[in-house]
Amino acid sequence: MKSLRLLTGGAAIALTTTLVACGGPAPQSTATKSIESVVVAVGALPDSLTPAPWGGSASHVVLSGLGSQLLEYKVGTNDGKSCPAPSTEVSGRLAESAKPSPDGTGVIVTLRKLTSQFGNTLSAEDVRWSFDIGMKRQPVMKGTLKSSGFNVDNLVKVIDEHTLQLNTTGITSYTEESLQNNLFYIHDSTEAKKHATADDPTANAWLSKNLADYSGWKLEEFTPGASLTVTADPQWEGTRGTVKRVSVKAVQSTATRSQLVETGEVQVANGFEYDQYKSLEKSPGVTVLNCPSQTRDTMMINTKTGPLADPKVRHAVSMAIDREALIKGAYAGFGEPAGSIFPNVDDSAIYKFNKDEAKKLLNEAGYGSGFPMTLSYSVTRPGPVAAKSAVLIQSMLKEVGIDVQLQNVASSTDFSTALIDGRYQAVLYSEPIVIADPAFYSYAFYGTGAPSNSTGWSNPEFDKARSELAATPDQETDKRNALLKKMAGLVDEGAAILSLVETRGVLVTRDGLSGAVPLTNGQIHFNSLGR
C-alpha cells in the first residue's frame, strides 16, 4: 500500500509500491453482530445510479456507498463512538494491486476475483469498457483522467483477463489516488452491453436504473431522487461487515430526519442544520461523529459579465463577508473561518472582514451606489446550512450596498447542471476533497480548461505553478507548501471563488453500529457497515 499526506500532498511522483487489499474485518461486538439491516437518511438522492447526470453530493452518497471503483482511501477500524485516526493509506477495492509498469509507461492493475450480481467475473474488459463509456457520457471524467496523467486517447491496454495497464503520458503526484474517484465506476460490461442501443451506446438509460457492477450489492428498489434499497449478494467474494441490507431514504426535512434518528428508525444520517447536531449530541443512543475534513464551503462567481467581472468588486464581496459571524450564525461553531482559498494557507488580505475597505473598492470600480446580484444555492450542496448562509450573506452584502436576491434551486441535478454550464451569477457551493492531493483539488475548479471551472477565470502563472506542484514528490514538503501558497495568492487575487468556511465531517449514527465512518468526501461505504 502507498502512503500519502492529506495536508501537504498526495502520492510520490514515482509509484514505487503496490496497492494491496487490506486484511479482514476487525473483531465485532455482540451489538454489532446483531445489526443486519441499516436505514440511512440523507437530504437528497440522485436521479441516476451512474455519474450521468451528475447529482452533486447526492451522487456521492450512492457511488461512494456502493463502491465499485478500483481503489479507495483506507478507513481505519471504528467503534461507532469516535472518528478513527485519518487514514494515510490507499488500498484496493476491485483492484488486488496497482503498480508502475517496468517501462514507466503506465500503471499495471491486477484485478481481484469478484463476481457481479449477474454472475459474471470481473475482467480487464469491464474496466476498459467502463472507462471508455465513462469518458463519453461524462466529460468531467475525461478531464480528470487527463489531469491525473493518464493517456485518454489510448487509456487501457488489456494484458490478460485479470490484468491491464492504464497508459500514462506522465505520472503526477495524484495519478494513483484518482482511481478511487466516484466518477471512475466499474460496470459489469457483459450485462450492460445487452442494454446498449444505437441511440444509447453506453447503456446509460438502463444502468441509471439498474445495478450491474462489482459492489457486492443487489438492487432491491430504486426510486430516482427518493429511495434506494440494496441487499448483500451472497455469492460476492469480497470483504464486508455484518450489514446485509441498506436502505437510503431522501428525507428533505431535517427535523424529520432528526426525529427518525432519535426513535431508532434510522441508523445513519447527515446533512443536518448545524444547531441540530448540537441537539443530537444530547440524545440517548445517538453518536455525533465530528471528524477532521478539508472540505470547504465556497461562493463561486461568474466572472464573464456584469459588475462581478471586475476583480475589485469580487474583492469587495469577500471583504464584506464576516466569516466568524457566518460560523456562529449558520454553522453553530462547526468549522473554521477560511483564511484563503485553500486549506492550510492563511492571511489572505481579501479574507479580512473590512466593510469600509469593501465600500472603497466598490466606489473605485464605479459601483459606489451598489448593484443587484443573484445568489443561487441548494440544500443538496453544501447542505441545509446553505439557506442560513445565504440569508446572512445577503444581510452582510446589503451593508455595503449590494442588493442580493436569493434563488433556491431544489433539484440536485438542475443545480449541478447549471453550475457546470456556468448559468449563475454567484452560487454557494462546497468542495469536498475527493482526491486529497492539493495538486488535484487546486486544479479541478481553478485550472484553465479544468472540468469544473465554470467561473471563466484562468491564469497562466497559476497553471504553471500547479503543474510544478503535481510534478513535485510528496516528500519535498517545503517546496510543495511554497508552491501551494503562491497558487493561493494568485487565486485570491482573481477571487473567482471565495472560500467561506473550512467545515468538519459530521455524521450521526445510532449506538452499536460500527463502520459508519465518513470517507474523504464525507460519505460512507456500505460494505464497511458492521465491521
Q: What is the pLDDT of residues 407-429, one digit of tens each?
A: 999 887 888 889 889 999 999 99
Output the CA angle 444-446-447, nearest 5 degrees: 80
Per-chain mean pLDDT for the chain: 90
pLDDT digits (tens, 9 = 90+) for 217-237: 999 999 999 999 999 999 999
Give 382's strand partners: none
Rounded CA separation 433/437 (Å): 8
Reply yes or no on whether the pLDDT at 6 is more than 60: no
pLDDT digits (tens, 9 = 90+) for 56-97: 888 999 999 999 999 998 876 667 777 876 665 789 999 999
Neighbouring C-beta atoms of residue 265, cutoff 10 Å: 12
Distance CA 111, CA 134 (A): 19
The one-letter code for the residue type at 37 is S
Domains belonging to the chain, first-starting first, are: 2-34+46-215 (3.90.76.10), 296-502 (3.10.105.10)
What whole-number distance in Å separates Cα of residue 131 and Cα of residue 266? 35
Q: How many whole angstroms separate alpha carbon 215 and alpha carbon 232?
A: 9
- CB count in 10 Å sphere of residue 209: 15
d(CA 487, CA 469): 10
238-251: per-residue pLDDT in tens?
999 999 999 999 99
Give the model confidence (pLDDT) of 18-53 as tens digits: 333 333 333 333 343 469 999 999 988 999 999 999
Which residues are CB-contacts of 82 (< 8 A; sequence separation ≥ 6)?
Answer: 289
Cα 191 to Cα 64, 187, 204, 324, distances in angstroms: 22, 9, 12, 53
C-alpha pair distances (Å), 124 with each of 109, 128, 344, 387: 9, 6, 40, 46
Mean local confidence (pLDDT), 467-486: 94
Q: How far is it, in rounded angstroms, from Cα 519 to Cα 371?
A: 41
The model carries a pTM of 0.80
Euclidean distance between CA atoms 2 and 20, whole angstroms = 9
Q: And the C-alpha cell for 327? A: 460560523
What letters, b where the CB count within 10 A reaches 16 and e where it falls short, cover 47-84? Answer: bbbbbbbbbbbbbbbbbbbbbbbbbbbbbeebebeebe
N residues, the chain: 531
Bridge partners of residue 510, in order along the sequence: 286
Rounded Cα distance, 5 and 289, in Å:
22
Q: Mind listing the pLDDT tens digit for each residue in 260-286?
A: 999 999 999 998 989 999 999 999 999
Q: What are residue 71's DSSP bridge partners?
A: 92
Amino acid 78: pLDDT: 66
| N-to-C CA span, the chain | 21
- Angle 32-33-39 (CA atoms, 0-180°, nearest 5)? 60
Of 228, 238, 25, the residue nearest 117 (C-alpha): 238
**Alpha-carbon span 132 to 202, nearest angstrom:** 9
Specify whether the CB–CB gap between 191 and 214 falls below 8 A: no
For 80: left if phi > 0, alpha if psi spans -120 to 50, otherwise beta; the answer is: left
Cell reading at 63: 457511488
**b/e code 4-17 from CB counts within 10 Å (16+ = b):** bbbebbbbbbebeb
pLDDT of residue 112: 98
| pLDDT tens digits for range 158-199 | 999 999 999 999 989 999 889 999 999 999 999 999 999 999
Cβ–Cβ under 8 Å, residues 183 and 147:
no
Reported confidence tier of residue 522, pLDDT bands at 50, 70, 90? confident
> Region 474-487: what's the mean pLDDT?
94
Extended beta strands in 204-360, E state: 217-223, 227-232, 245-250, 268-269, 286-291, 296-301, 336-337
Phi then psi for residue 100, to 5 deg, are: -65, 145
pLDDT for 27 equals 38
pLDDT digits 0-9 by tens, 301-328: 999 999 999 999 999 999 999 999 999 9
Q: Say what the pLDDT of residue 86 is.
A: 61
Q: In this structure, are residues 98 and 176 in contact, taking their beta carbons and an 8 Å threshold?
A: yes
- How far is the CA of 103 from the CAs of 107, 108, 168, 169, 402, in angstroms? 10, 11, 11, 12, 58
111-120, 300-309, 517-526: the lowest-pLDDT one: 517-526
